[in-house]
């Protein structure tokens, strides 16, 4: 049933703005203040071109004047108020809450400036009303594939939504992230924004730093403050290689739907890459993998609890992770432990976890301290199981007989330092310290490197021919950022410069678009043998320019300039020896 068949005939009238109420179900959550000001100016000059759609407001009892609720046109009503108008032309219709909500959703989706997340939530609301993606697509006049992809965005986490809203990532990045669990989303987002961010760096700090760098780049992109996330292709490859938990690592039955009843069986879970091929078919993950690490861990803990209950709740919790620290026995209330353990440790608390090195395998009856233990994790660090293949994989839920008594003569504990990790007392460089260090190193490198590249580039331009330009440049394209660097203009002016350039200059612009970006130095190039000048050297050979002679000349000029600066700098005064009263000297 269409909207025209279920609502009454429209009634157009002028209604005071102070009698119009916002619809609490309005799908639009953000309004561009700049665009709103432009709309207000247009209304002030030419009037309101499209009427607002309103309905009588619910709960009119006791009101002196009839009030109306805006269904479509919240932005227009604000613009009218901003333009100084007291009334707005409105189309009044009788409609139910469901009808008003659907009309508002469809109207909002037809706007050009609707954001991807708002569109996703609107599609979700329509899906709840109509039940199928195909029906939603028909109602809004969109492609079924487009609607299905947008619906995936509803599973984005808080930080992923924030990054998309700030335009730190694209919708294509977000679609890759949306299919993963919360933990995987956070890890992949951090990598996409800064591949060098450490595991201990909070994702919000990475977002904040990326937003600041992007803001600087938008102001001074041609000065080198350029930032962009990893490409969608690179993010896809990263997710394929690092995200998710291989289901072959699970010690529980993948068909068990009661292990965690609210999520069901792993074999048919939507986060199973092999069970949900519609969502994961484009990812090169050969083995069945769980894309939701938090759910995987929830099932691990549930499985461990079942194994603990099988021991009547008397088993210790054992970890395969190594440690060099002696166990700090926590006080518990278990009366079933051996007397020696009770006496030595005031009773072991069963909730504490003993790491490898704090417990040792023992045989039944080998000492009075032997207890049953249940393992709670895996004996490798690779979440996806790409660790040492020669090492037998030990899983959670294994039942062992162990001794944890610190001073047991039958089972002495060798508390050795773990094989991995940093040396004791080694100071770890924080993420902020690394960023500051690399920024300082880049500034020093660019100060000497970029003049070399500019001189080499100028020499190339003086000798290269149009035929050489075409042959060289047409092999590969480059973004407009390179043009901005080569022409010493802002990125915003590049397009207008291209349009205004006469035909004779277009060949040179092609050269700039490919090689101009080579004029900017990057931190990575500091450690490179050619200092990042490889492409300029290749171009120099084509143009018949000797790059070594030019670089040597500029380096000599830089050294001479540095000597002048040193000579002009004030010299520290030498200490003058004082004479003693007897005519001698004091040191």
Q: Residue 108's pLDDT is what?
A: 73
pLDDT band at 567 (very low <50, low <70, confident <90, very high): confident
- Give the mean pLDDT of the chain: 79
Same domain, 314 and 284: no
Q: Do 275 and 317 fall within a single domain? A: no
pLDDT tops 60 at residue 266? yes
Q: What is the 3-state secondary structure (H, E, C) of 548-586?
A: HHHHHHHHHHHHHHHHHHHHHCCCCCCCCCCECCCCCEC
Residues 474 and 516 in one domain: yes
Residue 505 and residue 449 share a domain: yes
Is 409 part of a structural domain of the chain?
no
Q: Does residue 135 belong to any structural domain of this protein? A: no
More confidently predicted of 351 and 19: 19
**Residue 492 placed within a domain:** yes
The DSSP call for residue 499 is H
State pTM to two decimals: 0.53
Q: Please give the pLDDT value at position 477.
A: 38
User: Which secondary-structure segment (H or E) carries 403?
Assistant: strand 399-403
Q: Does residue 137 lie within any of the structural domains?
A: no
Could you tell me if 222 and 280 lie in one domain? yes
Residue with more model confidence, 287 or 585: 287
| Mean pLDDT, residues 487-506 | 70
Whole-number Å distance between alpha carbons of 438 and 150:
38
Name the β-bridge partners of 289.
246
Band (377; pLDDT cuts 50, 70, 90): very high
Q: 134 — phi, psi (to 5°)?
A: -60, -40
Looking at residue 578, its pLDDT comes to 55
Judge contact between 351 and 315, C-beta under 8 A: no
- Evaluate whether residue 574 is within a structural domain: no
Most confident of 75-84, 213-222, 324-333: 75-84
Identity of the highest mean pLDDT range in 296-300, 352-356, 418-422: 296-300
Question: Considering only CA atoms, which of 247, 245, 232 is closest in space to residue 282?
Answer: 232
Instruction: Give the pLDDT confidence score for residue 471 in this predicted structure.
Output: 45
If one counts the domains in the chain, the total is 4
**83 and 198 housed in the same domain:** no
Give the least confident one: 228-242, 452-466, 506-520, 571-585. Answer: 571-585
Whole-angstrom CA distances from 541 to 478, 492, 513, 521, 529 are 21, 33, 19, 21, 18
pLDDT at res. 472 = 53
Same domain, 248 and 339: no
Does one domain contain both 102 and 190? no
Averaged pLDDT, 52-77: 82
Match 């310290």 to its residue by tokens.
Answer: 433
In a domain, 489, yes or no: yes
- Same domain? 276 vs 207: yes
Q: Which residues of 156-189 are buried (b: 16+ CB within 10 A; e: fewer)?
A: bbebbbbbbeeebbebebbbbbbbbbbbbbbbbb
Task: Report residue 395's pLDDT band, with 50, 70 and 90 as the boundaries.
Answer: very high
Which pLDDT does position 277 carry in this prediction? 79
Pairwise CA distance, residues 304 & 314, whole Å: 13
* 451 and 481 inside one domain: yes
Asked whether the predicted pLDDT for residue 581 surpasses 60, the reply is no
pLDDT at 418: 38
Give the C-alpha separation, 123 to 160, whole Å. Answer: 19
**CA gap 15, 93 in Å, rounded:** 13
Rounded distance, CA 356 to CA 318, Å? 8
Q: Give the contacts of 142 (CB within 8 A, at least 6 positions apart).
A: 109
Asked whether residue 57 is assigned to any structural domain, the reply reads yes
Pairing of strands 371-375, 399-403: antiparallel
Q: Which residue has the higher pLDDT, 19 or 110?
A: 19
Q: What pLDDT was estimated at residue 27?
A: 64
Kindly state whether residue 499 falls inside one of the protein's structural domains. yes
Residues 365 and 315 in one domain: yes
Higher per-residue pLDDT: 496 or 119: 119
> Which residue has better confidence, 62 or 257?
257
Instruction: Tell whether 271 and 321 lie within a shared domain.
Output: no
> 65 is in which domain, residue-wise?
3-114
């Amino acid at each position: 049933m269409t909207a025209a068949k279920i609502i009454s005939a429209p009634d157009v009238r002028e209604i005071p703005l102070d009698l119009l109420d916002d619809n609490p179900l309005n799908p639009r959550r953000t309004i561009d203040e700049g665009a709103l000001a432009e709309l207000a100016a247009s209304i002030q000059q030419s009037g309101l071109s499209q009427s607002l759609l309103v309905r009588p407001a619910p709960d009119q009892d006791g009101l002196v004047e009839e009030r109306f609720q805006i269904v479509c046109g919240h932005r227009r009503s604000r613009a009218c108020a901003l333009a100084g108008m007291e009334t707005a032309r409105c189309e009044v219709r009788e409609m139910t809450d469901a009808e008003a909500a659907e009309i508002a959703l469809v109207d909002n989706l037809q706007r050009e400036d609707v954001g991807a997340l708002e569109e996703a939530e609107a599609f979700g609301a329509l899906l709840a009303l109509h039940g199928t993606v195909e029906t939603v697509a028909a109602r809004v006049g969109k492609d079924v594939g487009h609607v299905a992809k947008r619906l995936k965005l509803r599973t984005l986490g808080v930080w992923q939504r924030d990054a998309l809203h700030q335009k730190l990532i694209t919708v294509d990045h977000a679609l890759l992230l949306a299919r993963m669990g919360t933990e995987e989303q956070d890890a992949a987002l951090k990598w996409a924004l800064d591949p060098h961010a450490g595991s201990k760096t909070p994702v919000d700090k990475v977002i904040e730093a990326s937003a600041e760098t992007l803001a600087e780049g938008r102001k001074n992109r041609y000065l080198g403050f350029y930032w962009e996330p990893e490409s969608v292709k690179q993010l896809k490859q990263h997710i394929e290689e690092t995200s998710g938990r291989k289901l072959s690592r699970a010690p529980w039955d993948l068909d068990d739907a009661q292990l965690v009843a609210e999520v069901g069986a792993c074999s048919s879970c939507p986060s199973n890459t092999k069970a949900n091929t519609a969502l994961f078919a484009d990812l090169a993950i050969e083995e069945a993998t769980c894309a939701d690490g938090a759910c995987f861990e929830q099932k691990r803990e549930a499985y461990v609890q079942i194994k603990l209950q099988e021991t009547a709740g008397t088993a210790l919790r054992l970890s395969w992770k190594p440690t060099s620290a002696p166990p700090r026995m926590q006080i518990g209330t278990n009366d079933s432990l051996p007397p020696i353990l009770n006496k030595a440790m005031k009773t072991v608390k069963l909730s504490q976890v003993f790491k490898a090195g704090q417990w040792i395998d023992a045989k039944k009856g080998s000492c009075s301290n032997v207890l049953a233990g249940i393992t709670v994790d895996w004996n490798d660090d690779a979440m996806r199981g790409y660790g040492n293949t020669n090492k037998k994989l030990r899983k959670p839920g294994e039942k062992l007989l162990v001794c944890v008594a610190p001073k047991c003569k039958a089972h002495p504990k060798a508390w050795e330092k773990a094989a991995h990790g940093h040396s004791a007392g080694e100071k770890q460089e924080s993420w902020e310290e690394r960023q500051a260090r690399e920024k300082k190193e880049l500034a020093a490198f660019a100060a000497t490197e970029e003049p070399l590249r500019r001189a080499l580039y100028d020499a190339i331009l003086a000798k290269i021919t149009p035929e050489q330009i075409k042959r060289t440049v047409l092999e590969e394209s480059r973004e407009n950022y390179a043009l901005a660097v080569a022409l010493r203009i802002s990125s915003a002016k590049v397009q207008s410069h291209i349009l205004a350039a006469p035909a004779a200059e277009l060949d040179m612009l092609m050269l700039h678009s490919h090689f101009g970006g080579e004029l900017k130095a990057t931190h990575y190039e500091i450690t490179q043998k050619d200092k990042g000048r490889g492409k300029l050297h290749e171009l120099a050979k084509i143009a018949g320019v000797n790059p070594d002679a030019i670089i040597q000349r500029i380096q000599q000029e830089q050294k001479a300039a540095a000597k002048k600066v040193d000579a002009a700098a004030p010299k520290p005064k030498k200490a003058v020896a004082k004479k003693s009263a007897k005519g001698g000297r004091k040191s």
